[in-house]
Amino acid sequence: MSQPLTGRVAVITGASSGIGEASAERLASLGARVIVMARRADRLADLVSRIEADGGSALAIAADVTDAAALQGAADRVEAEFGGADLLLNNAGVMLPAPIEELATEQWKHQIDLNITGLMNAIGAFTPQLVKAAAERGVADLINTSSIAAQNIFPTFAVYSGTKAYVSHLSRHLRVELGAKNVRVSAIEPGIVGTELQSHVTDQGARDWLAGSKETIEWLTPQDIAETVGFIATLPPRVNLQQVTIMPTAQA
């Protein structure tokens, strides 16, 4: 049976957990063939098995997105095996809040390397395929996972917020540049979503803030964001959802 995304080829980075994992399942359920990427190959293999058991099509490629050569190798494989991608969900990321005076320079670097350089590596590797697909079939999607942190002020989140402001602003620029070639560019800005993201936080003040938030607010689920990813991809080709902010109802 034909589904809305039948014939489409979607690459998802950060697909071994959280938003990326849920989005891969959603896009596959809508008929896309999905290529799931992250570093943890065992988690990707489990995801592929689940998608295939549900009747979908999936391929795992284990890669570190901060490694530009690995991303290019993945893109070459997608080109060879699928004829190229027409959707990239650029989603791998990390959040490590800490007061700036703690000078957690390794964590600053980690966030910038992954959230900015990793994002750009995926854009560099897959943009030619998106442009080619859009020229041939009239539509392709570049969906970047940003954050409400790109817009709002959260004390101690300055470096993370800076990386996500980069993602949102870059997305607005690329929408104009690539939209002329029928590639839709969207930035998704979630508020707080319950995933593994929070488990990497080491700063005690930020951990306490997150724990307090969890007690008072019903956090979003990864599936809430995945629904929106599916919605963006199934809109008519003339419709580009430029920027979507998705908040837990009770989050300020």
Residues 73-92 that bind ligand NDP (CB under 6 A): 91-92
Identify residues 134-173 at the interface with ligand NDP (CB under 6 A).
Answer: 145, 147
How are beta strands 57-62 and 33-38 bridged, if at all?
parallel
Taking the least distance from each CB to ligand NDP, the nearer of 133 and 220 is 220
Cα 112 to Cα 20: distance, rounded to the nearest angstrom: 19
Q: Of 18 and 56, which CB lies nearer to ligand NDP in the complex structure?
A: 18
Candidate residues 87, 95, 104, 187; the one interacting with ligand NDP per rule CB under 6 A: 95
Find the binding residues for ligand NDP in span 44-73 (CB under 6 A).
Answer: 64-66
Tell me how many residues contact ligand NDP (CB under 6 A). 30
Query: Environment class of residue 184 by beta-carbon count within 10 Å: exposed (0-12), middle (13-18) or buried (19+)?
Result: buried
With CB under 6 A as the contact rule, the residue among 34, 193, 201, 226 that binds ligand NDP is: 193
Strand, helix or coil for residue 29: helix
Q: Which DSSP letter does residue 49 get? A: H
* Catalytic residue set: 160
Determine phi and psi for 90, rounding to 5 degrees. Answer: -90, 95
Asked if residue 99 lies in contact with residue 156, where contact means CB atoms within 8 angstroms, the answer is yes
Which residue, 3 or 246, is less far from ligand NDP as judged by CB? 246
Which 3-state string (H, E, C) describes 128-183?
HHHHHHHHHHCCEEEEEECCHHHCCCCCCCHHHHHHHHHHHHHHHHHHHHHHCCCE
Q: Which of residues 115-134 bind ligand NDP (CB under 6 A)?
A: 118
Which residue stretch of 36-44, 125-133, 174-182, 236-244 sits at the interface with ligand NDP (rule: CB under 6 A)? 36-44
Q: Minimum CB separation from ligand NDP for residue 119, in Å?
A: 8
Residues that bind ligand NDP (CB under 6 A): 13-20, 38-40, 43, 64-66, 91-95, 114, 118, 145, 147, 190, 192-193, 195-197
